[in-house]
Structure 1
Amino acid sequence: MEGVKVNSAEREHTYRLPDFLQSVKLKYVKLGYHYLTSHLLTLCIAPLMILVLLQLTPDDLRLLWAHLQFHLVSVISASMLAAFASSFYLLTRPRPVFLLDYSCYRPRDDHSLPLHSFVDRLRLSGSYDDSSVEFQRKILEKSGLGDRTHLPEAILMIPPSPTMKAAREETEQAIFGAFDSLLANTKINPKDIGILVVNSSLFNPTPSLSAVIVNKYKLRGNIKTFNLGGMGCSAGVISVDLAKDMLQLHRSTYAVVVSTENITQNSYHGVKKSMLIANCLFRVGGAAILLSNKSSDKRRSKYELVHVVRTHKGADDKAFRCVYQEEDEEGKTGISLSKDLMAIAGGALKTNITTLGPLVLPVSEQLLFFATLVMKKVFGRKNMKPYIPDFKMAFEHFCIHAGGRAVIDELEANLQLLPVDVEASRMTLHRFGNTSSSSIWYELAYVEAKGRMRKGNRVWQIAFGSGFKCNSAVWVALNNVQPPKNGPWEDCIHDYPLKLN
C-alpha cells in the first residue's frame, strides 16, 4: 500500500516473525522426534499384538486352553519358577531411599553484613594492606553476593576473634538450628535415627561433630555415625551417597545427613590474592536432611533418590591442587584457588555427565549424541561441533552449587541452560553466598518456596569440591511440594528473583 509508513518497531517485528515461526516449527519437530524415539517399541509392538488378537477365533482360544490343561505340570512348574524369580528380585533389589524432609539454617539477622560494611571492616581489621582491600572489593562487586549474606560473630568483631570456642559456637548454631527445625517439621523421635552422616570440610574438632549431635539430642547408643572432613563443597552429595549405601544394609530406619562449613577459623588474613578470593565468597549456612528406607514413608516423603554419580579427578596433579589449603610466605593459612579452576571444573563436569547422561537422558538425545560421535570418529569430520544433549528434557529443576558467579555462568553456557534454569542458584548466591556443601539445599528450598515443584518433577543437584570432585544427585518429586515450614526464604521469597547486573 503506497503512502502508508511502517515505523521501525513494526518493521523489526515483521522481519523477525518468520524467524520466530521457524524456531517454533523446529521446537515441535524436536518434540515429535523425541516422542517417536521414546515410544518406538510401543508403537511397533502394539499394532502387532492387535493384529494377532484379531486373527484369533473362539476355536483357537479353546484349543489353547486345552493345550494348557494337557501340559498342566509344565504350566505349574513355569509359574513356580516365575514366582521364585520375582521373589528373589524383590528381596535383592536396591531399596528405594526417600527424602522425608530437610531444613536449612537461617542465621540471625544481626549477623548479616552489607558489602560496603564488609569492605570497611577489612580496612579496620589491620590484617590487610590497601591493595588487598581493593582487590577484595573488586571481587565482591563481581561475586553475585547481595547485602544480606551472613558472617559468624567472631569475624564481625574488630579485630576478628577466631578462637576455637567461637568456631564451635558458629558450627553448633548452624547444625542445631537446622536439626531443631527438621525435628519440629517431621515430628520424628531422635531415638529412631539409626544413621548419622556429618560433613564439614575445614572444621573437625575432637570430639567429632557427629558426637556433638549425638550428645545434644541423646541419640541411641547403637547409631552408625560418620564424620567427613576435607571433602570440599561437593561433600553434601557424598554424604547422601554414603547414607544411601548404609540404608541398603540396615532395614527400616532413618538416616540424617548434616552439611555445614566453618568460617571463623578459616578466613584468610594475609595478602596473597589467590587466597583472598575465598574471603569474598564463603558465608554461614547449614542443612539437615532426613532420609528413610521404609516403604510406608513413601506417601509422606517429598522426594525419592534416583541416582548418585561421583567423579574424582584427584589423580591429576593440577586438579588435586586447584583448591588447596596451605600457608603463605608469612605463615598465614588459607585456601588457594588456582587460575585453572574453571577449566578443571569443566573437565570434571564433562566426565560426570558422560556417566549421568545415559541414566537420565531420553533415547532421542542419546541417539543424537551418538550420531555426532560416529560422524566425528568414523567419517573423520573432526571440525564438527559435538552435540550437547538437552538436559532440560531430563530435568525440570537444576540446583547448581552456588560456588560463585563464574561457576554458575560456566554451567549455564556449557549445558545450554535458560536463565530460569539457574535462577535458584543465582538467587541463593545473592541471598546467602557460598554456603559450601549446603548450598544445593538452599537452592531446592528456593524452588519449593516459589511453588514450582510438582509431582513427578526431576531435580538435578550438582556440586564441585576440592580434590577435585564433581558429584551429582538426582531426585524425583513424589508429591506437589509445598513451601517449607520455617524455610530459609520464608521472609524474603517475594523479593526474588532480582535482576542482577
Structure 2
Amino acid sequence: MAENNHIKLLYHHFISNAIYIMLVPLLILSFNYLSSSTTDNLLHALWMTMRSNLPVVIICGCFLSFFTVFYIVSHPRQVYLVDFSCFKPGEDYKVTRETALKQFMINDQFTEESEAFQRKMLERCGIGQATYLPESLLGKELDICMTSGRKETTMVIFGAVDNLLKKTGVKPKDIGVLIVNCSLYNPTPSLSAMIVNHYKLRGNVISYSLGGMGCSAGLISVDLAKQLLQVHRNSCALIVSTENITLNGYMGNNRSMLVTNCLFRVGGAAILISNLPSDKCRSKYVLSNTVRTQKGAYDHCYNCVVQEEDEDGYVGVALSKSLMSVAAETLKANITTIGPLVLPMSEQLLFIATLFLRKVFNLNIKPYIPDFKLAFEHFCIHAGGRAVLDELEKNLNLRNWHMEPSRMTLYRFGNTSSSSLWYELAYSEAKGRINKGDRVWQIAFGSGFKCNSAVWRALKVVNAMEEKDNPWIDEINDFPVVVPKMVSLSV
C-alpha cells in the first residue's frame, strides 16, 4: 500500500510539472539558436519586419490594448475574508448530555420509549458534555415564547458581531452589504433589520434575511455576498449565520423529530468579507470558488427534511430515513461540479481514463474516486451528526486528521447549524494548522435538499494565539478527544 502511494505521488508531481519538463528542451534549442546568431542581426531583422508592416503592427497593438482593458474591467474581483468571529456562550449556558435531556423532559411530555431513544442518541451521536442551551430551556420551567426566542438570537448575533467589529476595526457605516441567515426563526421586523437598527447601519445598505434554507445557508450567504461584491465596488459585506433553539425544541414523541433535540445547540458566527484591494494585506483568506447544488426538483430529496406538525400537533423537523442516501447523491453532484475547478490535472486524467475504460470497453473496474487531499489541505465538513461525518470520511477517503475539526466541533459545540463551518475553521486556526497558501474546503448540507461548497486560500500564516475571541483558544490543548463510534438507531 505504501509503495502504491509513493507511485501515485510521483505520478501526481510529474503531471503537475509536465509543462516545465517540456519547456527544458525548448529552452535548450532556443539557447543554441540564439548563440549561433548575433543579437544585433536579430534586432535588425525584427525592426525591418515591423517597419514594412507598420499598419498591421498598429492594428494589432490597438486590439491588444482593447482586450487587455476589457479583461481587467470584466475580470471578477477578488473577494477577501477579512476575519470572522464565533459566539461562545457563558458558563451559565453550558450543559451536559444528561442535563440537556432532563431540561427537555421538564413538562413530562415524553414517553419512556422517547426518553430512552434520546438518551441512546445523545450517548452515541458525537455530542460532548459541554455544549450550550439558551436560558429559556434552562429554568425550572421551559420559557418557550417569542420574547425568549428574540433574547437568544440577540445574544448570539450581537455577541458575534461585536467581537468581529472590535477585532477588525470596521465601523458600522462602512458596511455596504448585510446578509443574515437563520432557517427556523424569521420574526418581523427581520433579523437584518434588527442588526441595522442596533448598529445604526447606513440607509443604503443592501440587506437580506435568508430563512428556511437549512444548515447550508451559511455558504449560500457567502455566494450571495460574492455576487453582490462583483457589482458594488469598494465595499464590504457582513454575514451573520445562526439558528434559534428556543422556539424549535420538539416536545412530541415522533422519533424522526426527536433527533434534533439531541444535536442542535446554541451558536452563531459573523463573517466580514471585502472586495477592497487595500484589505488584501490584512485579510486571512481569499475566496477561490463557490459551488451550489440543488436537488429540490426531486420529491424524495425535497421531503427528506421537513418542518411539520406531528399527530399530536407538536411542531418539529422530521428527518427521513432516506436522508443519508439523499446527502450522498447531492454530494456526488456537488463534487462532480467542483472537481474540475480544483483537482490537479493528474487526478482528472485518472478519472477520465477510468470512465473511458468502463464506458467504451465495458471493463469491470471500480469508478475512480479523485483524491481531494491533493486539492485541499483542510476540510470543514458541516457537523450535522456523527453518521454524516462517518459517511463523508468514507466517501472522500479522508484521514482522522482531516475530520478532526468537524468531529471536535460536533463534540464541543454540537450542531450549530449554518455556523458550524466557522467553528471548524476556528479549530484549525487554534491548532496552528493554517499556513500561507493552504486551501480550505467548506462543505454543508441543508434542507431542500442542497449541498454547497466554498473554497478559500490562506493569504498568510494564521496565528490564532493572538486572537482572544477564538472560541477554542482557552481549551485547544484538551483536543482532540476520543469520540465513541456511531451506532445507528432506527427512527
Deviation at 1:119, TM superposition (A): 2.6
Deviation at 1:120, TM superposition (A): 2.8
Determine the structure 2 residue equivalent to 1:429: 410
**2:217 alignment partner AA:** A
Deviation at 1:35, TM superposition (A): 1.6
**After the TM superposition, which residues 315-334 of structure 1 pair with which residues of structure 2 at under 5 Å, given as runs?**
315-334=297-316
1:125 touches 1:158 (CA, 8 Å); kept in 2? no
Match of 2:153 among 171, 175, 179: 171
1:194 touches 1:255 (CA, 8 Å); kept in 2? yes
2:229 touches 2:235 (CA, 8 Å); kept in 1? yes
Determine the structure 2 residue equivalent to 1:496: 479
Q: Which whole-Å deviations, capped at 9, do the CAs of 1:142-184 have from their partners, x for residues lacking one?
A: 1101111000111112331111000000011110010000000
Match of 1:206 among 169, 175, 188: 188
Partner Cα separation in structure 1 for residue 140 and residue 455 of structure 2: 43
1:126 touches 1:159 (CA, 8 Å); kept in 2? no
The answer to whether 1:117 aligns with 2:99 is yes
Determine the structure 1 residue equivalent to 2:400: 419
Partner Cα separation in structure 2 for residue 142 and residue 158 of structure 1: 27
1:185 touches 1:485 (CA, 8 Å); kept in 2? no
Determine the structure 2 residue equivalent to 1:291: 273
Q: Which whole-Å deviations, capped at 9, do the CAs of 1:214-234 have from their partners, x for residues lacking one?
A: 000000000000000000000
SS of residue paired to 1:256: strand
Determine the structure 2 residue equivalent to 1:399: 380
Partner Cα separation in structure 2 for residue 137 and residue 239 of structure 1: 35
Q: After the TM superposition, which of the residue ranges 109-118 and 244-253 deviates more from structure 2?
A: 109-118
Match of 2:5 among 27, 30, 36: 27
Q: Which whole-Å deviations, capped at 9, do the CAs of 1:196-215 have from their partners, x for residues lacking one?
A: 00000000000000000000
Match of 1:448 among 401, 425, 429: 429
Partner Cα separation in structure 1 for residue 103 and residue 49 of structure 2: 90
Determine the structure 2 residue equivalent to 1:467: 448
The answer to whether 1:54 aligns with 2:41 is no
CA-based RMSD of the aligned residues comes to 1.2
TM-score, scaled to structure 1 = 0.93
Deviation at 1:491, TM superposition (A): 1.6
1:195 touches 1:255 (CA, 8 Å); kept in 2? yes
**2:53 alignment partner AA:** H
1:174 touches 1:286 (CA, 8 Å); kept in 2? yes
Partner Cα separation in structure 1 for residue 273 and residue 482 of structure 2: 36
Match of 2:21 among 26, 43, 46: 43
The answer to whether 1:183 aligns with 2:161 is no
Q: After the TM superposition, which of the residue ranges 418-427 and 486-495 deviates more from structure 2?
A: 486-495
SS of residue paired to 1:125: coil
Partner Cα separation in structure 2 for residue 81 and residue 119 of structure 1: 71
Q: Which whole-Å deviations, capped at 9, do the CAs of 1:319-366 have from their partners, x for residues lacking one?
A: 101110000011110000011100100000000000000000000000
**After the TM superposition, which residues 53-452 of structure 1 pair with which residues of structure 2 at under 5 Å, given as runs?**
53-56=31-34, 57-58=37-38, 59-381=41-363, 383-452=364-433
Partner Cα separation in structure 2 for residue 73 and residue 63 of structure 1: 18
1:454 touches 1:480 (CA, 8 Å); kept in 2? yes
Deviation at 1:482, TM superposition (A): 1.4
Partner Cα separation in structure 1 for residue 101 and residue 260 of structure 2: 14
**1:224 alignment partner AA:** I
**1:28 alignment partner AA:** H
Distance verdict in 2 for CA 1:122–1:197, change over 3 Å: closer
Percent sequence identity is 56
Partner Cα separation in structure 2 for residue 257 and residue 286 of structure 1: 11
Distance verdict in 2 for CA 1:449–1:278, change over 3 Å: same
Partner Cα separation in structure 2 for residue 66 and residue 142 of structure 1: 81
Deviation at 1:67, TM superposition (A): 2.2
SS of residue paired to 2:223: helix
Q: After the TM superposition, which of the residue ranges 55-64 and 234-243 deviates more from structure 2?
A: 55-64
Deviation at 1:73, TM superposition (A): 4.0
TM-score, scaled to structure 2 = 0.95
2:404 touches 2:480 (CA, 8 Å); kept in 1? yes
**1:34 alignment partner AA:** H
Partner Cα separation in structure 2 for residue 227 and residue 203 of structure 1: 11
Partner Cα separation in structure 2 for residue 24 and residue 146 of structure 1: 35
Partner Cα separation in structure 2 for residue 430 and residue 144 of structure 1: 5
Q: Which whole-Å deviations, capped at 9, do the CAs of 1:83-125 have from their partners, x for residues lacking one?
A: 2211110001111100100000011111011112223334433
Distance verdict in 2 for CA 1:69–1:25, change over 3 Å: farther
Deviation at 1:32, TM superposition (A): 1.8
Partner Cα separation in structure 2 for residue 306 and residue 230 of structure 1: 27
Partner Cα separation in structure 1 for residue 317 and residue 250 of structure 2: 8
**1:456 alignment partner AA:** G
SS of residue paired to 2:347: helix
* Count of paired positions: 478
1:122 touches 1:133 (CA, 8 Å); kept in 2? no
**1:499 alignment partner AA:** V
